[in-house]
C-alpha cells in the first residue's frame, strides 16, 4: 500500500506518457492540489488565417451520457505545456491531425475548474483543475481515438449559439465562446 513521506512510492515511470501516478495517488492529489491541464479548440483556417470551422468532441462521460467537450488533458510531471498539448491533441484527434501549435505559450484563456459550483464558470466534480486553453489550427485528418467518439466540425456562427453553448460540459461553452472571441469570430 502507498504511503507518503518515508516510503514514498515510485510512480510507474517505465510506462512513458501514460499514467505517472497510481489511481490512489491521483485520487489523493485531486483533493489536495490544483492540477494543471491544457485544453485545445481545434480549428480549420483559410489561407489568410481566418477560422472557418471549429472542432468539438462527442464523448461519453462518466455517467454514460453523450456530451460535447474539448480536447483536454493533464500536464505530467517533467512535461512541457507544448508537449502536453501535442500529446492530448494526438490522443483525441489521432496521429494525422497535424496540429500547428501556437508560437506563443500564452493561452487565450485560463479556465479554473472547481469541484463545487459558483466559484467560477467552470465545474469539474473530480478536482480543482486549472486549464491553459489554446486555439490550435489543424491541417490534416482528424480521427478520434480512445474515449472520444467523434469529432464534429461546425461553423463559428453555429459554435457561437446559446443552444450549442449549453451542450458543452462543465462550463466549456463559455470557454468555447472565449476561444471564438480570441480569434475574432464570435457571432
Other beta carbons within 10 angstroms of residue 184's beta carbon come to 10
Q: What are phi and psi of 30, to 5 degrees?
A: -60, -25
The three-state secondary structure class of 96 is coil
Query: Does 140 participate in binding a copy of itself (rule CB under 8 A)?
Result: no
Q: Specify burial of residue 77 (Cβ count, 10 A radius: 0-12, 13-18, 19+).
A: exposed
Q: Which of 1, 62, 63, 166 binds a copy of itself (CB under 8 A)?
A: 1
Which range touches a copy of itself (CB under 8 A), out of 22-30, 62-70, 142-150? 22-30
Q: Which is nearer to a copy of itself, 67 or 102 (CB)?
A: 102
Give me the 67-96 binding string for a copy of itself, x by CB under 8 A, dash otherwise: --------xxxxxxxxx--x----------
Q: Which is nearer to a copy of itself, 69 or 160 (CB)?
A: 160
Query: Does 64 participate in binding a copy of itself (rule CB under 8 A)?
Result: no
Q: Are 148 and 49 in contact (CB under 8 A)?
A: no
CA-CA distance, 71 to 87, in Å (whole number)? Answer: 10
Query: Does 123 participate in binding a copy of itself (rule CB under 8 A)?
Result: no
Q: Which of 16, 49, 64, 118 binds a copy of itself (CB under 8 A)?
A: 49
* Alpha carbon distance, N-terminus to C-terminus of the chain: 53
Q: Are 120 and 114 in contact (CB under 8 A)?
A: yes
- β-strand pairing of 109-114 with 122-123: parallel
Q: State the residues that interact with a copy of itself by CB under 8 A.
A: 1-6, 8-9, 11, 20-21, 24-25, 27-29, 31-36, 43, 45, 47-51, 75-83, 86, 100-110, 112, 114, 119-121, 128, 130, 132, 135, 137, 162, 174, 177-178, 181-184, 186-187
Amino acid at each position: 500500500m502507498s504511503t507518503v513521506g518515508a516510503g514514498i512510492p515510485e510512480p510507474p515511470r517505465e510506462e512513458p506518457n501514460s499514467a505517472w501516478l497510481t489511481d490512489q495517488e491521483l485520487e489523493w492529489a485531486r483533493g489536495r492540489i490544483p492540477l494543471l491541464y491544457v485544453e485545445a479548440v481545434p480549428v480549420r483556417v483559410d489561407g489568410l488565417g481566418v477560422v472557418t470551422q471549429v472542432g468539438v468532441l462527442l464523448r461519453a462521460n462518466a455517467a454514460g451520457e453523450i456530451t460535447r467537450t474539448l480536447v483536454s488533458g493533464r500536464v505530467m510531471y517533467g512535461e512541457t505545456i507544448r508537449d502536453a498539448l501535442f500529446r492530448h491533441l494526438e490522443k483525441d484527434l489521432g496521429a494525422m491531425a497535424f496540429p500547428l501549435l501556437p508560437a506563443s505559450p500564452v493561452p487565450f484563456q485560463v479556465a479554473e475548474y472547481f469541484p463545487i459550483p459558483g466559484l467560477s464558470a467552470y465545474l469539474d466534480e473530480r478536482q480543482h483543475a486549472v486549464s491553459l486553453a489554446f486555439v490550435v489550427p489543424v491541417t490534416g485528418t482528424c480521427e478520434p481515438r480512445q474515449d472520444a467518439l467523434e469529432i464534429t466540425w461546425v461553423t463559428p456562427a453555429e459554435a457561437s449559439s446559446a443552444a450549442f453553448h449549453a451542450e458543452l460540459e462543465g462550463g466549456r461553452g463559455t470557454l468555447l465562446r472565449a476561444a471564438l472571441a480570441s480569434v475574432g469570430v464570435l457571432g
